[in-house]
Structure 1
Amino acid sequence: MKTFLALYMGSDTPVDPGALDQATIDRGMAAWGRWMTDNAAHVVVTGGPVGKTKKTGKDGVTDIRNKVAGYIVVQAESHEAAAKLFENHPHFTIFPGDSVEVMEQLPIPGQG
């Protein structure tokens, strides 16, 4: 099995979590819980939501915004199979998320 990092992507425009009605939150969280249960054999790291972003580079530390809303680590036989785990995911079918981006964890160069 291969390991994949999946990033829950938000929309271009930040969504105020307080703008969601309680019924949508309840329905979304129930669906998310079912997804987690149904895919428990594939989940390596549960992950979760992420907050504001700081960028560290040659110019120091700055505040930036990106679309990453959360993450999870999963295992699957292939990249395609890992991506298919997220088809119709509540992140974007119930909640206002945009998509889930899935990338394979590759070996570190020079290490085995």
Structure 2
Amino acid sequence: MSHYLLIYRADPAAMAAMPQPTPEQMQEMSAAWFGWRDRVGSAMVDFGDPTEPASADADPTVGGYSIIEADSHDAAQALLAGHPHTAMGGQIDVYEVTPFAMG
């Protein structure tokens, strides 16, 4: 099994232009994210966290990450079906984690 790093990206200007969500909308968004996590089940390695650029040259479109486990890239892509980030118009970049061989 391989690990796949999911990088969540979105246009910062579009995100800033969105109205502040109501508490009910925040609850719906949280339910969608946790519902996706629950559907992924044991393939979830690290649910992740939101990110913020911390250096001047950091990519401002990156807004978070997750790490999942799958048998193949196609299997990893299948786990992204119905993902709340893409449902909101965001993009998910998928990277296979290649362990560094020591020795």
TM range (shorter): 0.7 to 0.9
Change in 2 beyond 3 A, CA 1:41/1:91: same
Give TM-score scaled by structure 1 length: 0.76
Alignment of 1:111 onto 2:98:
no
Larger Rg: 1
Residues in 1 aligned to 2:44 and 2:74: alpha-carbon distance in whole angstroms = 16
Higher strand fraction (1 or 2): 1
Match of 1:87 among 70, 81, 87: 81
Structure 1: any 5+ residue segments left out of the alignment?
55-61
Identity across the alignment (%): 27
Higher helix fraction (1 or 2): 2
Instruction: Figure out how many residues of one structure are paired with residues of the other and give that number.
Output: 102
C-alpha root-mean-square deviation of aligned residues, in Å?
2.3
Structure 2: any 5+ residue segments left out of the alignment?
none
Partner secondary structure for residue 60 of structure 2: coil
Give TM-score scaled by structure 2 length: 0.82
- Contact 1:6-1:71 at 8 Å conserved across structures: yes
